[in-house]
Amino acid sequence: MPPDNTSDVNVHSFTLDDICTITNLPRRTVRYYIQLGLVDRPQGETRAARYTQTHLEQLLLVKRWAQEGLSLERIRELQEAERQPQLPISTRRPGSIEVWSHLLLDQGIELKVEPQTAGLSPEQLRELLKRCMAALADIRKED
């Protein structure tokens, strides 16, 4: 996968240790996935390397696919084909990690989305928020 050099407005930055803690993967495994091209290269080098939300999502996806029994070669094929596998969604287990986006529409109104499962890019997620906020404004006008 080529590195994503686009800048997101709400980019979270992580160190290698942060990423390893969040994903529960050893440093060696994270570096190996980067070496294989399964995960984008970090921004910067050595101890100054920074990882973004995109890196986190890539790692969690590779980890999930590997836990479902896919080989690293098959994972690479799926990524290269740029298509989502039709795998059954695994059951949620204690200790599993999921990345969710919380879209705050207004006080007391929040939309919770798991972008990877929903198949939404960051741009599509922003568009969803924009449209939901417009729909809420329209509903309030009707009253």
Question: Is 138 among the domain residues?
Answer: yes
Count of the separate structural domains present in the chain:
2
Name the token pair of 87: 């795998």
Report the greatest alpha carbon distance in the chain. Answer: 58
Q: Say whether both 34 and 70 belong to one domain.
A: yes
Provide the residue range defining the domain that includes 43. 16-81
Question: Is 8 among the domain residues?
Answer: no
Label residue 91 by pLDDT band (50, 70, 90).
low
Q: Say whether both 27 and 72 belong to one domain.
A: yes
Grouping H, G, I as helix, E, B as strand and the rest as coil, residue 94 is coil
Least Cα distance to 103 among 137, 123, 126, 121 occurs for: 126
Dump pLDDT digits (tens) for 15-48.
999 999 999 999 999 999 999 999 999 988 877 8
Grouping H, G, I as helix, E, B as strand and the rest as coil, residue 79 is helix
Is pLDDT above 80 for 59? Answer: yes
Q: Which of 52, 81, 110 is the last residue of a domain?
A: 81
Question: Is 57 among the domain residues?
Answer: yes
Pairing type for strands 101-106 and 109-113 reads antiparallel
Q: Say whether both 36 and 71 belong to one domain.
A: yes
Nearest-angstrom CA–CA distance, 57 and 119? 12
Domain of 37, CATH number, reads 1.10.1660.10
pLDDT score, position 126: 85
Worst-scoring range by mean pLDDT, 32-41, 53-62, 71-80? 71-80
Average pLDDT, integer, range 91-96: 74
Worst-scoring range by mean pLDDT, 7-11, 54-58, 139-143? 7-11
Name the token pair of 6: 């686009």
Q: Say whether both 28 and 76 belong to one domain.
A: yes
Q: Say whether both 32 and 75 belong to one domain.
A: yes
Q: Say whether both 52 and 24 belong to one domain.
A: yes
Question: Is 52 among the domain residues?
Answer: yes
pLDDT score, position 8: 43
Q: Say whether both 33 and 74 belong to one domain.
A: yes
Question: Is 4 among the domain residues?
Answer: no
Terminal-to-terminal C-alpha distance of the chain: 49
Q: Round the average pLDDT of the chain to a whole number and report it.
A: 82
Nearest-angstrom CA–CA distance, 38 and 30? 10
pTM over 0.75: no
